[in-house]
Structure 1
Amino acid sequence: MTQAASGAVAATRALEGLMRNDRGRLMAALIARLGNFQLAEEALQDAMLSAVSHWGRNGVPAAPLGWLLQTAYRKAIDRLRQSKSEGRKVDALRLLTAETREDDAYDIPDERLRLIFTCCHPALEPKSQVALTLRTICGLSTHDIAAVFLDAEPTMGQRLSRARAKITAAGIPYAVPEPQDWAERLQAVLAVIYLVFTSGYAGTAESRKNLAAEAIFLARLLDSLRPADPEIEGCLALLLITHARHGAREDHTGATVPLAAQDRGRWDRALIAEGLGLLDRAMNRRLPGPYQIKAAIAACHIGENGSDWPQIVLLYDSLLRFEPTPVVRLHRAVAIAEAGRPDTALAMIMPLQAELGAYQPFHAAFAELLARSGRKAEAQAAYERAIALATNEADIGFLKARAQAVRE
């Protein structure tokens, strides 16, 4: 390998590492000063292209973050020069750039908490919140985000553009919520992180692993930016305990393995220990919330003697006080069935059909309870509906096997 080629490889590797760990920090600093998501992203992209060339020739600078930030400011000025109406902003940015040195890497303020709350603002629809968070903070490409949602790349690109434009047009504040709004807005942020985590389950095993990693990265980031918050700790605990079972979720055919049948030797014990430690820490703060309860439910599933269904029912009773939704009522009914009252659970599930008719787990649970009650024809129909709504091959394989068992 030539010296030039070796330098280019080293530069690319250094840049990839920075973008994985610090892209959100750079984007947050740029957006705070430029006041424009699109301009910040374009300027950072321009700076990254310059870095590959410059670092490849001259080596990675001592303060690469400061170098990227200063270069991005200059690139933003170049773009703003093309618009005469932005003259004042150009002058202001020139002054800012002149005051910013390349060795200021450790002086870059960490604005990522503000960026997270902006990306997850309730004025944006949930799908746009997730997409913008994955793009802006995690640095996923538009192509990869489109794949998560099974969208065409141009369609996802348009969604991201509309979300950025709405932030500007609606005057969505680039700020951390005030104390009186913190709890409500935090729940919206945690919901986005959890949706990132669960979105992977519609795709392949690789997409599940990748999106789980992104969600855990976001939860860890939020915990570091806002330490000692029990709901953040609860959310991170939930993700870790749940993800710890990923190695046992599919059999050799690729079909989903239900929790009770999983090989516990394939669970990640380090993740479980970390998650349980976080949950204990959160609950000791005596400020209960929905994510702590969900984490406690996850913990009840991994006991040495299997799932503690009576305790899980009680936890769902508590969760309903925070989230009185049909999905929570469905999961509570399933827990009641597993605790030994399947007929009671079936009576509770049936009225939920109107609200959950398009929700695949409802039909899977309904089919199981119908089968236990001996109503095989109805169970078969419910399984067929669940199979039609399933979006990944692992779940389809499992549901087909259950349907076949009912026929036999």
Structure 2
Amino acid sequence: MSEGAGAAAERVARESYGRLVARLAWQWRDLAAAEDALADAFAAALRHWPEQGVPDAPEAWLAAAAQRRLLHHARHLRLTQDPRVTAVFDEAEPEAPDQQDVPDARLQLMFVCAHPAIAANVHAPLMLQAVLGLDAKVIASAFLVSPTAMAQRLVRAKARIRDAGLRFETPEARELPARLAAVLEAIYAAYTLGRHALDTPADDLREEARFLAGLAAQLMPEQAEAWGLLALLLHVEARRAAQFDAEGRFVPLTAQNPADWREDLIRQAEQALWTAAQLRQPGPFQLEAAIQSAHAQRRATGQTPWRAIAQLYEVLVQHHANLGARVGQAVAVGEAGDPAAAVALLDALPEDAAGYAPYWVARAHVLGLAGVPGRQAALQRAIGLTDDPRLRAFLLAQLG
């Protein structure tokens, strides 16, 4: 395979996967079949493009190839079900609706995936797979479940879509608010994962998540959590370039130089957070954005307001006590001057925290603040659970 053909296939996968799946799913009312057809189309491209050359419109080539596969499957199914249907078969493609309330195919399909007939615990994972092309193993890591369990959830969800005949059409405007939380959860998970099964660079997935977050806020400007998520992602993105030094070594937040943070993104984040606050609809993404806003204050004051951050985490945990929030609370409490209480907070976490690398990183940190034994053992556990070689190198240096 020539490099040109491979690069073209990778680019189209990166830029158009979600859009192509969304269109095919609308047309054929079958998400699993749409994904299978598109996978076959990419495989065909990798076979034919090196010899025939990359087409002028590679996305259209892939769409046509997937359509042919779906038409062939539909024809075979009809002939199997009724052999008399041999002379008449409508080759025309069913069209997606012309008028769409949601101005982006990917976001439209995400709202479809949040249909109330589909189990709530699979809404966001289904979006990550169907719209952004992530595989079950990657998705499982974001939701702290086994890859097998996640794969089973996704298979059942797609079967439910097919068997129930759920229409791939944008929900009515009155239905969107009820589905928004799942859409925002998926966007946030996509940003934090930073990679997917098609080996798209992390930057691309983060950019996709930021774009979708901004689109969701524009689509539903009266929903505070949409603005809260946008603010959160902008604050985190503002510090991204400072996470690694010139040699590629990881730099923790407390050691970063605030002058390296992007002021333009911080301003945008603060504006989004202010917009959310004006709506007076408190929610977890707004609280997380407020925590990041507090960290951003160090750029102006030179100090991190740890007590305020600990208080924000306390509110977040009271209403939305996920594992990440509880670990973050412990670190903030320790930094605010009470490491013993921080250790107690970590001790109180459920057993499944033992498989969560940030838990062990936080534990090592607060044990060090408290001056009690166990820091080295916690670091070793964290190293064993960390895949990123840059983070492993940082933890190994801390161990030394």
Q: Which TM-score tier does this pair reach, normalised by the shorter chain?
A: 0.7 to 0.9
Deviation string, structure 1 residues 144-164 (Cα, Å, up to 9, x no partner): x867879xx9x9999876653
Partner of 2:355: 358
C-alpha displacement of 1:30: 3.4
Q: CA deviation at 1:206?
A: 8.5
Query: What is the Cα deviation at residue 249 of structure 1?
Result: 0.9
Q: Tell me, yes or no, if the aligned pair for 2:213 and 2:229 is still in contact at 8 Å.
A: yes
Check the 8 A contact 2:138/2:196 in 1, yes or no.
no
Q: 317, 336, 348: which is aligned to 1:320?
A: 317
- Is contact 1:77-1:93 (8 Å) kept? no
Give the Cα separation in 1 of the matches to 2:174 and 2:317: 23
Pairs within 5 Å for 1:112-123? 112-120=106-114, 123=119
Q: Which of 273, 294, 301 is 2:295 aligned to?
A: 301
1:216 corresponds, among 207, 210, 215, to 210
Contact 1:117 1:176 in 2 (8 A): yes
Among 355, 360, 371, the alignment partner of 2:368 is: 371
Query: How many correspondences in the alignment?
Result: 376
**1:293, distance to aligned residue in structure 2 (A):** 1.2
Q: How far did 1:76 drift? A: 3.5
- Equivalent residue in structure 2 for 1:310, among 307, 312, 330: 307
> CA 1:289–1:159 in structure 2 vs 1: closer, same or farther (change >3 Å)?
closer
Provide the secondary structure at the position in 2 that maps to 1:94. coil
Task: Check 1:329–1:169 CA distance in 2 against 1; reply closer, same or farther (3 A cut).
Answer: same
Question: What is the Cα deviation at residue 73 of structure 1?
Answer: 5.7
- So what's the TM-score if we normalise by structure 2? 0.73
Cα distance per residue 1:311-339 (max 9 Å; x no partner): 21222232224303343233222212212
- Alignment of 1:403 with 2:399, yes or no, is yes
Which residue is equivalent to 2:257? 263
Paired with 1:263 and 1:90, the residues of 2 have a C-alpha distance of 71
Give the C-alpha shift of residue 370 in structure 1: 1.6
1:298 offset after TM fit, Å?
A: 1.0
Task: Specify the SS of the correspondent of 1:287.
Answer: coil
* Letter aligned with residue 402 of structure 1: Q
Q: Is the 8 A contact 1:129 1:192 kept in 2?
A: yes
Q: Which amino acid aligns with 1:322?
A: H
Q: Is the 8 A contact 2:333 2:341 kept in 1?
A: yes
Structure 1 residues 330 and 17, CA gap change in structure 2 (3 angstroms)? closer
Separation in structure 1 between the aligned mates of residue 305 and residue 260 of structure 2, nearest angstrom:
20
* Match of residue 24 from structure 2: 30
* Residue 134 (structure 1) shift: 4.2
Separation (CA, whole Å) in 1 of partners of 2:121 and 2:315: 28
The aligned counterpart of 1:388 is 384
Measure, in 2, the Cα distance between the counterparts of 1:185 and 1:225. 13
Conservation of the 8 A alpha-carbon contact between 1:254 and 1:397: no
> 1: distance between equivalents of 2:138 and 2:356?
21
Which amino acid is the alignment partner of residue 76 of structure 1? L
Residues 42 and 283 of structure 1, relative CA distance in 2, 3 Å threshold: same
Alpha-carbon shift at residue 232 of structure 1 (Å): 1.4
For 2:81 and 2:120, locate their aligned partners in 1 and report how far apart those are by CA, in whole Å.
Answer: 27
Q: Is the 8 A contact 2:133 2:196 kept in 1?
A: no
Distance (Å, rounded) in 2 between the aligned partners of 1:214 and 1:344: 39
CA contact (8 A) 2:228 2:285 kept: yes
Distance 2:396 2:352 in 1: 24
Distance change in 2, residues 1:357/1:27 (3 Å): closer
User: Separation in 2 of the partners of 1:372 and 1:385?
Assistant: 18
Letter in 2 for 1:296: A
Residue identity opposite 2:205 in structure 1: L
Specify the SS of the correspondent of 2:349. helix
Which position in structure 2 is the counterpart of 1:193?
187
Q: For 2:241, which of 241, 247, 254 is the aligned residue?
A: 247
Give the alignment of 1:134-173 within 5 angstroms.
Answer: 134-138=128-132, 164-169=158-163
SS at 1:288's partner residue?
coil
